[in-house]
Structure 1
Amino acid sequence: MSPDNNLKCKYVVDLEKSCLLNNFEKRGWIPTSLENGDWNFYWCAVHNLKNLFGIESTIRMNDNQLVNHFPNHYELCRKDLMVKNIKRYRKEMERNDHWLAEKDSDGNYVHLDIVPSTYLLPADYNLFAEDFKRHPNSTWIMKPCGKARGIGIFLINKLSQLKKWANARTNIPQQTTRDTYVISRYINNPLLIGGKKFDLRIYVLVTSFRPLKAYVYKMGFCRFCTVKYNHSTSDLDNLFVHLTNVSIQKNADDYNAQHGGKWTLESLRLYLSSTHGSAKTDNMFDDINWLILHSLKSVAWIMNSDKHCFEIYGFDVLIDDKLKPWLIEVNASPSLSATTANDRIMKYSVIKDALSILFYDREVPDSRADKNPPRSSFGQYELLYDEEAEKAEQEGSKPSSKKTTQRGASRLRGTGRPAPTTWK
């Protein structure tokens, strides 16, 4: 780092988290205030984005300023918009007769079946009711569109329960009409370890949406429930059985504060390799990368890819007992609070390695600079997809046949990661 303070990055932070502040201090960055406008890096809370990008905002960022959110990040992170955009993406593929839109004999997408059947309530109630009647023994999970940490989530297996909930909402004082929910088919055959349900938290760094460039972090973790899973309908109200959110599980009697109910992804890979074999395990992680990629592609067209922005997303993925991954939700502000010592180390590294990619050859950001850092700056990130490189490769080679561009042929089997420049 240069001793000249004029070359030091000046930062503003809305969240006083040790994994952020320790990284900034280690880099020799200088804290400053947002008001004076003399800042280079702003770690912004999502509710303060309007101060930067709102219609009434008078702030105009210059070339050496960088912020950690895209203006309309919610297109991927609001539960209703995420599903809406993925559905639109699949329909667009169908209209273009793209092989990605292929369906099986039951009408399910072969390549893009990445989210459970989901409806928006109250708008899609009739469509949901028809689906429910076709599958009368199914269980569904209700989630408020704009909340996180498991707040407001519950399960139902009868239409009468939904009607009771709807009637109760009409009697709540100051109930807003914008308080919408999504209802999704509950994955009732989750992969269990030690009899307990779990999901995966995977970190993804996006430095640009147009062209799309994304990195996936190798050191995510699994979040376990504290109570063993069962299919009994009498336990639908027991959130310690069904929801993996740490904010919920930490209140359980059996919560272990030492390990926080978490496993590393490396531990999961070793376990699955020993129980299901390396080939199936690698294929599952490859499918997770596929799921992440196409969820990002589904919003790339609508995302305001401001050159001053980047994003570290927290993808929540559930694995069923057939080792099929399902996208549950995406977080624009994944928790940076540490619940264990290992948690603290990992989250510090998530930020450290992201900053190494963003600042790989400079002291302060430069939105005009080339966004192709060397692999040596990736740390624990892996390049998931580089749209610009893919286009360059296509322009420099002959068009491939459909057979050679099929999903299976475009992946690096046995590595658990995609081929960055050939995925379609």
Structure 2
Amino acid sequence: MLWKTDFSKWVITSNFERRGWQEVEDEGDESWSIFWANVGTIRQIFSPDSLQQLRPDQLINHFPNHFELTRKDLLVKNVKRYCRHARKLGAAVPEIVPSTFVLPQEYALFVDEFRMQGSSTYILKPNGKAQGKGIFLVNKLSQVRERAAAAAAASADGSASGGGIAQLFGQVGSRPGTGSSTHATSSRATPLRPALENYIVSRYIDNPLLLGGKKFDLRLYVLVPSYSPLVVYLATLGFARFCNVKYTRELAQLDNMFVHLTNVAVQKRGGGDYNAAHGNKWALADLRLHLEAARGHAATQQLFADIEQLVVHALKAVQPAMINDKHCFELYGFDVIVDSNLQPWLIEVNASPSLTTTTKADRLLKFKLINDALSIVTPPGWSSSGAGSSSRRGGRRARESAADERHYPPALGCMQLAYDERSVAGSSRRSTGAAVAAAGDGSKAVGSSAASTKKQAGAIPHKVVLLHG
């Protein structure tokens, strides 16, 4: 077996080497069987201008248009469409993401909701940045205007941090949200070249579940070996990421990112408050034990069942838009926050979750994660049969038939099978999704600004309502 990678991470290379596979070191050598690549390389390989054709036995770690899930604005668009379809069919769908708008395109809609909500806090994030860069919180519309003015000044100085948010108010004083300025720079983007200047604005979860008085979120790892049929594995290995400073709603601390943002890249800058020994992380298993002691076994079980359904719903929301190339699989990093009512909310999805290791526990976790993911996507006999990839003969029908016949184990190491579309009775290929609703829980569709009802520990088990596209 020949492998290739375009970035050097120990958890990747050591897993390949321990299997006895051989590295392809020449950049132009395409004899590899599996390629762990960055997203930039994926764009080149699947570009319409590329003449490269993958062999039946080649496997690569991203889907061609993974950005339908991992770009913040496209994720929101797909989730909203999914939930609208569910409502048309009368199916209840739990809230997936907080009420969210894309700026500058939906600025007028954002203003309407902001005024209706009164004193709510919102969080703005640049569409194409990561690691907490460019994020800020607002509780007044005037603060958005101030940020827009600062972005315009930065753009005038040639800074990359300017751009689309400055367009909210145009360049010649047009009324916010009307888009009437003729001098505003276009924010239009192509799928393969996102508009990095666009922002999304979401209702801020200002009642997060706290531990030791500190805010945290969850980094979950999700493996998708196929979108058609949709197959989802959720890793039992994951961790909670904590802020350095105790959480407060005080307005004076609204700009204190050490209170509000859990990103490791942000918290590392917290000086003496950052604990390098554990990296401000706590293993998912330890968190679960703590919650069982503090909130009870039934409530904790319900929370983790809700998190699993949240992941499945998000993937079903993007399934119709995703190109299911049989050469591809993907290991995503899902970021989820839990509020004080034990309701999970999806914050974002990462196409390339960090594989850098900061502690011994981190290194062991990520090594096992990659090992188990590789064991699923490269089962025994995979390299000789070319399973999981397309064949030059037989066409699409033969390729889909091969995918339907492939066996996925219910569990392998840390990977647990969360969803297999083939096992859902009556499901159809490329369905819009199965809306799984808790009977009588009163949950509302995505985008609702109303607070969710508190879940009861003894909630009735979920029932399945099928939605067909």
| 2:421/2:427 contact within 8 Å kept | no
SS at match of 2:7: coil
Return the TM-score normalized by structure 1. 0.87
Return the TM-score normalized by structure 2. 0.79
> What CA distance in whole angstroms lies between the structure 2 residues aligned with 1:375 and 1:164?
52
Post-superposition offset of 1:14: 1.4
> What CA distance in whole angstroms lies between the structure 2 residues aligned with 1:244 and 1:48?
29
Q: Does 1:297 align with 2:316?
A: yes
Q: Match for residue 67 of structure 1?
A: 60
SS at match of 1:161: helix
Equivalence map 1:131-142=2 (5 Å): 131-142=113-124
Equivalent position amino acid for 2:406 in 1: K
Q: Does 1:14 align with 2:32?
A: no
Post-superposition offset of 1:422: 6.2
> What CA distance in whole angstroms lies between the structure 1 residues aligned with 2:329 and 2:286?
29
Q: Does 1:206 align with 2:206?
A: no
Q: Match for residue 402 of structure 1?
A: none
Equivalence map 1:219-298=2 (5 Å): 219-253=237-271, 254-298=273-317
Equivalent position amino acid for 2:126 in 1: P
Residues 81 and 383 of structure 1, relative CA distance in 2, 3 Å threshold: same
Equivalent position amino acid for 2:87 in 1: E
> What CA distance in whole angstroms lies between the structure 2 residues aligned with 1:237 and 1:408?
37
Equivalence map 1:45-56=2 (5 Å): 45-56=38-49
> What CA distance in whole angstroms lies between the structure 1 residues aligned with 2:120 and 2:13?
47
Q: Residue deviations 1:349-399, cap 9 Å, x none? A: 1100001111221262532665313346x11111010001224x779xxxx
| 1:318/1:328 contact within 8 Å kept | yes
> What CA distance in whole angstroms lies between the structure 2 residues aligned with 1:120 and 1:246?
25
Residues 390 and 163 of structure 1, relative CA distance in 2, 3 Å threshold: same
Equivalent position amino acid for 2:17 in 1: E
Q: Does 1:44 align with 2:37?
A: yes
Q: Does 1:91 align with 2:91?
A: no
Q: Residue deviations 1:36-88, cap 9 Å, x none? A: 21111111101111221001111100110000000000001011110110001
> What CA distance in whole angstroms lies between the structure 2 residues aligned with 1:219 and 1:197?
20
> What CA distance in whole angstroms lies between the structure 2 residues aligned with 1:406 and 1:311?
24
Post-superposition offset of 1:15: 1.7
SS at match of 2:331: strand
> What CA distance in whole angstroms lies between the structure 2 residues aligned with 1:76 and 1:394?
22
Residues 184 and 394 of structure 1, relative CA distance in 2, 3 Å threshold: closer
Residues 347 and 193 of structure 1, relative CA distance in 2, 3 Å threshold: same
Equivalence map 1:288-327=2 (5 Å): 288-327=307-346
> What CA distance in whole angstroms lies between the structure 2 residues aligned with 1:295 and 1:350?
21
Q: Does 1:78 align with 2:97?
A: no
SS at match of 1:348: helix
Post-superposition offset of 1:276: 0.5
Q: Does 1:167 align with 2:162?
A: no
SS at match of 2:226: strand
Which of 382, 399, 403 in structure 1 is aligned with 2:416?
382
| 2:309/2:436 contact within 8 Å kept | no
RMSD: 2.2
Q: Match for residue 376 of structure 2?
A: 357
Post-superposition offset of 1:135: 1.4
Residues 22 and 152 of structure 1, relative CA distance in 2, 3 Å threshold: same
Post-superposition offset of 1:408: 3.7
Residue-pair matches, total: 388
Q: Does 1:123 align with 2:123?
A: no
Equivalent position amino acid for 1:169 in 2: A
- Structure 2 unaligned residues grouped into runs of 5+: 164-186, 188-194, 391-401, 429-434, 440-455
- Structure 1 unaligned residues grouped into runs of 5+: 1-8, 101-110, 396-404
| 1:385/1:423 contact within 8 Å kept | no
SS at match of 1:99: coil
Equivalent position amino acid for 2:124 in 1: M
Q: Residue deviations 1:278-333, cap 9 Å, x none? A: 00000000000110000000000010010000000000000000100000000010
Q: Match for residue 331 of structure 1?
A: 350
| 1:190/1:321 contact within 8 Å kept | yes
SS at match of 1:407: strand
| 1:50/1:57 contact within 8 Å kept | no
> What CA distance in whole angstroms lies between the structure 2 residues aligned with 1:361 and 1:407?
37
Q: Does 1:371 align with 2:406?
A: yes
> What CA distance in whole angstroms lies between the structure 1 residues aligned with 2:54 and 2:359?
37
Post-superposition offset of 1:247: 0.6
Post-superposition offset of 1:406: 6.4
